[in-house]
Amino acid sequence: MDTASTTPVTYIPTASGKNVIVEGPLTEATLGTSIVPAYAYTDEEAFAHEQQTIFRSGWSWAGYAHWIPNVGDVRPVTIAGSPLLLVRSTEDEIKVFHNSCRHRGMVLTEEPIEVTQRIQCAYHCWSYNLDGSLAAAPYFTRERRGNPSPEAKERLHLLPVAAATWAGMIFVNLSDDPRPFLESAGPLVERWSYIDFDRLHLGAEREFDLAVNWKLCVENFLDFYHLPFVHPQVGPVAASLDVDDVVIEPSLIVGGSYPRGAVGKAKKSEDQLPYLGDVPDDKKESQDIFCLFPNALVFLEADWFQVIALDPRSATHTVEHMAVFVDKDADDPRFAESISSLVEVLFHVNEQDIPFLYKLQAGRRSVGSDHTSLVEHWDQITAMFQTIVASRAGYGTGSEAARVDD
């Protein structure tokens, strides 16, 4: 279950004094000791365990609001092994239900559909309104008009799932006693309160089907150290290294901020896009990068917003759903070239990471991966993410024997 941490966060200035790093779990004494064991990146039993202890225990990204733009749009997804339905029930509301007919438990659809009023099960033609209530169950009493009683209908509602929509994303919570979404994500919502996420317009979206463990995707996203070596086109080394560790909530939201990133790095488009709301002057130059645990990787600049959302399919299979958003005023022909340039750069950066993700995945089959050495000056944020994983999943901190799959 998502729980807020009471541990105070301490920051330490870098040697230059320009930036700060968090005082995290790494010291010289931790060199050669892995926080998450290597088998957790390759073993299917470990993956199944994480699905229950991580993805079923709190809020997780489940989809994008733009996947179901119109009333009656229905999209099936799977979270923590559970088939779910994302439903646009009204113009302003998205509901999520378990994708299971209340009669025999058959999934109602395996493909995105658009319905006018009802979602129907093909097996016995039970149908449900968009609010999940049972609309009809033909021949329920063996009579042509033998519908269930009002009391029975009330008990045969599609089973709802705790859901929230924020920043164009749909989140679900499958735990038995879900805490409100804002109690989990509230500190990040407050940090970005100057952004008007109701103005988001989809610039572009791509899917990356990767033969890697989901945790490596997060760790790479939070690895600021690799930017000047893997992504030299982002600008001079000094700009790439000008980054502060930022811990918003130690057990849920970790990442970093480039205080001058929007001006210090190379430009992604020639023309200034409209800002995403009433952006204060001190935020017009910065870039924020966070993992909203466990599977939403978010990147915010004043005039664009990027999400890489992770859909773990197995221990060695993850689908990344990457979307780039701009302000709705940028939906204008005069900004088309700038948006095209922006998304081309962002997608290319993600593509550059893929060969390294595959090599990181291959390395997890070596016993050496139980003795990796995250360094305190660069990897505290990655270590904090791994610590959250280890705490949720119950992994040890290096004392476990390596389990290398054949």
Where does CATH 3.90.380.10 sit in the chain? 11-42+197-393
Rounded Cα–Cα distance for residues 61 and 79 (Å) = 9
pTM: 0.94
pLDDT given at position 268? 62
Residue from 297, 301, 261 nearest 277 by CA: 301
Cα atoms in the Cβ-side hemisphere of radius 13 Å centred on 107: 14
Poorest-confidence range of 14-18, 67-71, 215-219, 235-239?
235-239
Residues forming CATH 2.102.10.10 domain(s) in the chain: 66-165
Q: How many residues does the chain have?
A: 406
Q: What is the pLDDT of residue 269?
A: 62
CA distance 354 to 39: 21
Q: In the prediction, which pLDDT does 406 show?
A: 37
Q: Are strands 93-98 and 253-258 parallel, antiparallel or unpaired?
A: unpaired
User: pLDDT for 89-106, tens place per residue?
Assistant: 999 999 999 999 999 999
Supply the pLDDT for residue 357.
98
Looking at every residue in the chain, the average pLDDT score rounds to 92
Domain 11-42+197-393 has CATH 1.10.760.10: no
pLDDT digits (tens, 9 = 90+) for 177-210: 999 999 999 999 999 999 999 999 999 999 999 9
pLDDT for residue 390 is more than 50: yes
For position 401, what pLDDT does the model report?
38
66-165 homologous superfamily: Rieske [2Fe-2S] iron-sulphur domain (2.102.10.10)
Distance CA 209, CA 318 (A): 6
